[in-house]
Structure 1
Amino acid sequence: MRSLPTLWFLRHGQTEWNRDYRLQGQLDSPLTEQGIAEARRQALIMPKILAGKPAIFASPLGRARQTADIALAGADYTTDPRLMEIDAGRWQGRYRADIMAEHIEWQANGPTALDIYEAAEGGEGIVAFHDRICSFVKDLTGPTVIVAHGLLGQVLRAHVRGIELAQAGQLSNLQGIVYLLENGQETVLEVEE
C-alpha cells in the first residue's frame, strides 16, 4: 500500500436522529445544541491544523456541512459525494429499537452500527462503502482535513491503520474531537477541559 498523507478526520456533531437512535444513512437531520457545541470544540483544535493549508473535504450531507462551517471557522472546503454516509436503504429513518425487535438473533451478541447497516434492506453494503472510501483516499495528494460521518470514519480509519474491515465497527466513534491519522497511527486530539 502506498504511503498516505496525514489526515485529520472530524465526525459531525450529534444530530436529532443520533439522539433519537434513528438510522440516518444518506438522509439528514440537523445538529442538536449538543452537536453545535461539539463542532465548536473541534473549532478550538483546528486553527494550527488549518494554518498548514491542508486540502479540506466534507460530505455534501447537511449535518457534515453544518459541522464544517462551525469547526473550520469559515474556511473553504470542497464537498465530495464519496464522503456521504453509508446508504441504509429502506432502513433509513427507522428507529434502531424497531430494527432490533425484528432481529432477535442480534439481541444476544449486540451488533455494531456497521453490522446493522450491512444488513439493511436495499442498502449499499460494507464492501461497496469501503470501495467508495478507498476511491476517495486514492485521490489524495497531500495533508487533508475530512469532515464526514461516524461509520465512514470507522471504515476510513480502519483502512488507513491497516485494520481488517470486519473490525472497523469496534473502533471508537467520537464527536467533538479530531482524529489525526499519520504513518498508520491514530491520535485523538481533544480540547483540554
Structure 2
Amino acid sequence: MTDTKRVVCWRHGQTAWNSEKRFQGQTDIPLNEQGLAQARHAAGLLARLRPDAVVSSDLRRAAVTAQTLGEQTGLDVALDKGLRERFGGQWEGLTTAEIRERWPEEDARLDPPGGEDIDAVGQRVCDAVERALALVPDGGLLVAVGHGAALRAGINRMLDLPAGRRQVLGPLGNCSWSLLGPLRTGGWRLLEHNAASLPEKRTLSDDR
C-alpha cells in the first residue's frame, strides 16, 4: 500500500430483502426503486471527492450501485468477487426473526450454520482493496463498493481490531460509507463511519 492513498467503503442501496430484513448473503438480489434512488443521490456526493478508481462486488446490488458513480465520474467500474457479501449458509433468505427463533446461540455469535468464516471474509475484502489500490495514484482515492457485513469485516481487518472488538463498529446503512486514510506510522485509521453526507471541511493528513 502506498501510504498516501485513501479508501471509501460504500455499501449498496436498498433491496427488497433489506426492507424485509432478510439475510441476503451471496444471493443475487437486485436493488429496488428506493435503492436506485439512494445510489444516485450518494453517487452525486461521492463524485465530489473526485475518486480515481471504483471497484465493486460482482453481485448486482453492489455493481449497479457502483455504476451510478461510474456514470457521474466517467470511471470504469472494476468487478472483484473478493468484495462479495459473506456467504450465509442456512440463513440466506430468512428473516431476522426466523434466524433468532431457530438459531439463538448462533445468532448471538453472528455465526450462520454452513456460512463463511468472518475472518476469512475480512481478509478477502482487504485483498480486494489492495488489488484495486494498484489502480490509484499516490494521494488518490479508491471507492470500494460492497456489502454491509463484508465491508465491516474488511474495515475491522484493515484497522487490525481483535476478534473480541468486532462489534465496536456499528453497521453500515444502505448507501452509507466509511472512509479510511493512512496512519503516519503505517496501517489505516478510520476517518468516517456510516456517513451519508460530506463534511464541510476535512483534514486528512493531520494525525495529532
**Superposition TM-score, scaled by structure 2 size:** 0.76
Query: Structure 1: where are the runs of 5+ without partners?
Result: none
Residue 123 (structure 1) aligns with: 115
- Paired amino acid for 1:168: R
Q: State the Cα deviation string for residues 137-181 of structure 1 (Å, max 9, x = none).
A: 343333311111111121122223333344334423122333221
- Paired amino acid for 1:127: D
Residue 146 (structure 1) aligns with: 144
| Contact preservation (8 Å) 1:41, 1:71 | no
Query: Structure 2: where are the runs of 5+ without partners?
Result: 183-188, 200-208
- Paired amino acid for 1:125: D
1:105, distance to aligned residue in structure 2 (A): 4.5
| Contact preservation (8 Å) 2:175, 2:196 | no
Alpha-carbon distance between aligned partners in 2 of 1:86 and 1:4, rounded to the nearest angstrom: 29
| Contact preservation (8 Å) 1:154, 1:169 | no
| Contact preservation (8 Å) 1:59, 1:79 | yes
Alpha-carbon distance between aligned partners in 1 of 2:9 and 2:32, rounded to the nearest angstrom: 20
How many residues in Structure 1 have an aligned counterpart in Structure 2? 182
Residue 177 (structure 1) aligns with: 176
| Contact preservation (8 Å) 1:180, 1:189 | no
- Paired amino acid for 2:7: L
- Of 149, 152, 155, the residue aligned with 2:153 is 155
1:43, distance to aligned residue in structure 2 (A): 1.5
| Contact preservation (8 Å) 2:11, 2:173 | yes
Alpha-carbon distance between aligned partners in 2 of 1:133 and 1:4, rounded to the nearest angstrom: 20
Secondary structure of the residue aligned to 1:73 is: helix
1:2-151 → structure 2 map (5 Å cutoff) = 3=3, 5-50=5-50, 52=51, 54-73=52-71, 75-105=75-105, 111=108, 115-116=109-110, 119-139=111-131, 140-141=133-134, 142=136, 143-151=141-149
Secondary structure of the residue aligned to 1:186 is: strand
Residue 205 (structure 2) aligns with: none
Residue 190 in structure 1 maps to residue 184 in structure 2: no
Q: State the Cα deviation string for residues 65-119 of structure 1 (Å, max 9, x = none).
A: 111122332631110010000001122112221110113447xxx84xxx43xx2
Alpha-carbon distance between aligned partners in 2 of 1:177 and 1:185, rounded to the nearest angstrom: 15
Identity, % of aligned pairs? Answer: 30
Higher RCO structure, 1 or 2 (CA under 8 Å, sep 6+): 1
| Contact preservation (8 Å) 1:31, 1:63 | yes
| Contact preservation (8 Å) 2:122, 2:151 | no
Provide the alpha-carbon RMSD of the alignment: 2.5
More helix by share: 1
1:130, distance to aligned residue in structure 2 (A): 2.0
- Paired amino acid for 1:95: T
**Superposition TM-score, scaled by structure 1 size:** 0.81
* Compared CA separation, residues 136 and 44, structure 1 to 2 (3 A): same
